[in-house]
Amino acid sequence: MNKLIPYIKITDMKLFSYLTAMALIISGAFVQCRSDQENHYKAELSQMIREAGIPIIQIEYNAPGKHIGEMVVNSAFYPDSTSISPNSVFQAASLSKVVFAYIVMKMVGNGEIDLDTPLYKYTDINRFADTVRAKKLTARMILTHRSGLPDWAFSPSSDQWPESEIRFVHEPDSCYGYSGEGFAFLQRAVEAIKGKGIQEIAQEEVFIPLDMPNTAYSWLPQYDSLAVDGYNAAGENRGRRETLRANVAYTLRTNAQEYSRFLKALMDGTGLKPEIHSMMLEPCAEYAKRYADQPRDCDSTVYWCLGLGIEQNPVHGKMLWHWGDNGNFKALFVIIPQTQETLVYFTNSSHGHDIIDKITRLFFNDPAPLAISEWITNEFDE
């Protein structure tokens, strides 16, 4: 007998057969377990959107050894759920800002832009009514929402916006004040430095490296079939609103699967120098008081860092987050660095933030609502 050919005793064969059978049983049980788990989340999400009157929710949750990816369609809005592509894209709204902040921080690491150099040295300040104050603005002030600028000087989707006059509402770097206008100004500086438009920049820096083919600040050809319509509070279809111009503050379209890849890169610091990554996620010393004249309990645990928010949570520690609100499209992501968890969801409804507490409880098993829930949803007239 050739000694190179293994010799297996009959008892070894029986043991081998037994172990193989056991492996198959365990494997089958694992698959069944995964299926039961996925069905549980899908059932919970279905109930949430039915009760809230949300047409579609798309969600991605990732943790070590666990992944849940679902798109749930409300049959009250879409009787034929198969008409909705699993690759559907949503308006990411202000989740657009976080991708841009990541690009800016990559540029900081490469020495292309300095966080504290006045931006007028990179681009014009023609739209500002007060050029003295405008000359004080820096990338750091804008990324931390301390620019003193309004959210918008004029509706950014209008034809008039590019020429509209910008007036300060606060002294630069004096207090927190959320501003899309500031991000649009920083976008112009980045485009001037790079010598190209933001869509091309984002393609090179984020979308191609992170495998995000259906993500863009500008309208892509595939959006003709993939972009979903948005629904208002009355449940009326208000259309998908095609993008007129790329704006880093709100025009990103994407899906949960692709955006979750970006969140993993953000959490890990992929593409960022370690010191830049740490700097990006360092909270400002002051709370992010959304309504300066109407303080709320949630303000005492919410801060802003360079491009995204932080909640200091008693259970989870530091939580990174950002919300998106384009009216009929609402979104949210949460990152828990301590446990390496990421969660992002997109909806095509003005009711999309009504489910924040239920979503975070479902995936994070929270004993109490997160502070960001009140911070986002408990609104006052500004």
Q: What does each of the 382 residues of the chain score in pLDDT, given as a tens digit?
A: 444 434 434 445 555 555 555 555 544 544 455 578 889 999 999 999 999 999 999 999 999 999 999 999 999 999 998 889 999 999 999 999 999 999 999 999 999 999 999 999 999 999 999 999 999 999 999 999 999 999 999 999 999 999 999 999 999 999 999 999 999 999 999 999 999 999 999 999 999 999 999 999 999 999 999 999 999 999 999 999 998 899 999 999 999 999 999 999 999 999 999 999 999 999 986 888 887 777 888 888 899 999 999 999 999 999 999 999 999 999 999 999 999 999 999 999 999 999 999 999 999 998 889 999 999 997 643 3
- Give the pLDDT of residue 321: 98
Within-domain flag for 42: no
Is residue 215 a contact partner of residue 253, using CB atoms and an 8 Å limit? Answer: yes
> In 3D, which of 72, 82, 83 has the Cα closest to residue 50?
72
Within-domain flag for 167: yes
Within-domain flag for 23: no
Domain that holds residue 234: 54-377
- Give the pLDDT of residue 289: 82
Within-domain flag for 24: no
- Give the pLDDT of residue 219: 97
CATH of residue 165's domain is: 3.40.710.10
* Count of structural domains within the chain: 1
Tokens of 325: 């609100």
Tokens 């095609």 sit at which residue?
242
Within-domain flag for 138: yes
Within-domain flag for 88: yes
For residues 93 and 129, give the distance between their C-alpha atoms in angstroms, rounded to a whole number: 27
Within-domain flag for 30: no
Start-to-end Cα distance in the chain:
89
> In 3D, which of 41, 38, 78, 40 has the Cα closest to residue 56?
78
Is residue 68 a contact partner of residue 41, using CB atoms and an 8 Å limit? Answer: yes
For residue 172, CA distances in Å to 69, 163, 169, 305 come to 42, 22, 9, 16
- Give the pLDDT of residue 69: 97
Within-domain flag for 12: no
For residue 121, CA distances in Å to 112, 113, 159, 195, 333 come to 13, 10, 27, 15, 34
The pairing of strands 66-73 and 309-313 is unpaired
Name the pTM for this structure: 0.90
